[in-house]
Structure 1
């Protein structure tokens, strides 16, 4: 797969504090690459270094092997939304397309198509300040893709969107990836990341903690959990072998058993005593959301010892 962006061992200092430490990852043509981490982990600083808003103190960033990242080849939806409020929608879209050296006639045609696709038909002559928050976000998303960028950087693109608008964004992001756009996605909505991303890079306190395909991360880091629906005394479950911890809802009608790594579900099931009340039993791996919580709270950073390099 063709490499579009390469981030090579970048480091960044703010005064005496090192906020990025040996950060390295690639983004390939036609893939959705997620960059994740808790607040303050260094995600936004990494993105700003890629965008040339600031520059790394160590390491390098290259685009198609060249040191300079051409801004007209990059689309960027920042977390902090910012459009000129007293400007008409079409005027702001054409202005931003012009800044990217994109032909204005083609930009206007594409803008009208996208406004219709995002249920904003007829809003081209409305000022930005008259739009709802969700509508404004759609306009800024359109602005980030109007010039047909080779790479698209999305920082919290789903924030504040209703479920219908989220689906529209997801569909368009997938379409862009299928057409060959390299996408770098940053989001705290782990369910959407897990659904969409091909690979992920997770950063914590300025350092890499996970890097690999979604399948690799799930296989190597996401232990199995067993969910048992049925009223059970916790004492029946706490001492079972290969169980890290047991969580029960109030009333004990649902029990979740988090298992050790490398447990084979079919073999482990033989450990359940005859007295366990099973109305329903589900075996699956812990979610990306649960992995994120473990890392953010420092409960389990074991992956650092053998991180995933895809």
Structure 2
């Protein structure tokens, strides 16, 4: 894909909010990012998925112009110097930081001012945002008197107060409890519904699977896959789970050679295998004509976790799961 090319989503073509090709970044002798290609269409929710240390934060910072790549090109809304259009961008870094003695509404206004929003307007919008998100009572409270989740919400709202066209969140779900994670997911969907492009990094597959239409899987500084979530999932054929009354017969020739059988009390047999390329109809015909005694049959599309394993490998998947367990323990 060449820079400037549009990104196809389904049967539509949309201009790109973010486009990058061949991004490389070294820190001393460490190659942190090695040839990253990403294309994010306007109005999309896009996830950068990978374990901690994979290069997600470095990639985001290069895309936003916070740091420059050693090689490669990137553009935001067609600009190759993204920091010059900072007013169009909202950014929530992984390292959270607010002045503890600043009031919540003032903190939001201050963050908006950094993006060119007048303080007076920022204060009005800040109070409106806090009210809309159930924190109106906290508008005049100092940050140090807020719970961790409330403080994170304030910083999140501060990244949105200037009404950016693009919002970039670096590990936004980290440290949030299940309730606040759900609120954040709804907020992200609302932003996309309003036409805002949202890109976020995460090591939690479930968030990417529920929210994203496109993802980049990053491992070891490389991107082995970037594109539609559905395309990633289709890397693995659908899985069939079949229960038959009998365990043998001529119908077994219709099952793949690697079909796994498991006998159950009562005499039935469960079979697990990938859906054959010929589809389910020939399989059903063979089972019925062969009197296999179908007790149940289900076809499940592969999940994003299975796709991640297939694309990035077992080691990256284990690292991803380990990061999730550490996050749950915090």
1:184-232 alpha-carbon deviations (Å, 9 max, x no partner): 122223222122212111122222211222222233x132112357999
Alpha-carbon distance, 1:283 to partner: 0.9
3-state secondary structure, aligned to 1:292: helix
**What displacement does 1:255 show?**
6.0
| 1:113 matched to 2:128 | yes
Of 284, 288, 291, 2:307 maps to: 291
| 1:294–1:110 Cα change, 3 Å | same
Output the TM-score relative to the length of structure 1: 0.81
Pairing of 1:196-207 with structure 2 (within 5 A): 196-207=211-222
Contact kept in structure 2, 1:224 and 1:263, CA below 8 Å: no
Match of 2:33 among 12, 15, 20: 20
Residue matched to 2:240: 226
Instruction: Report whether the alignment pairs 1:136 with 2:151.
Output: yes
Unaligned regions of 5+ residues in structure 1, if any? 302-310
User: Which has the larger Rg?
Assistant: 2
Aligned to 2:43, the other structure's residue is in SS state coil
For residues 258 and 135 of structure 1, do their structure 2 counterparts lie closer, same or farther at Cα, with a shift above 3 Å needed? farther
State the match for 1:77 in structure 2. Answer: 92
Structure 1 residues 270 and 9: alpha-carbon distance in aligned structure 2, compared to 1, 3 A threshold: same
Distance 2:245 2:180 in 1: 40
Equivalenced residue count is: 295
Whole-angstrom CA distance in 1 between matches of 2:21 and 2:240 = 40
- Per the alignment, do residues 19 and 169 of structure 1 end up closer, same or farther by CA in structure 2, a change over 3 Å counting? same
> Is residue 2:58 matched to residue 1:45?
yes
Aligned-residue offset at 1:110: 1.9
Structure 2 length-normalised TM: 0.77
Aligned partners of 2:219, 2:173: CA distance in 1, in Å?
22
Spell out the pairing of 1:35-184 with structure 2 (5 A cutoff): 35-69=48-82, 70-184=85-199
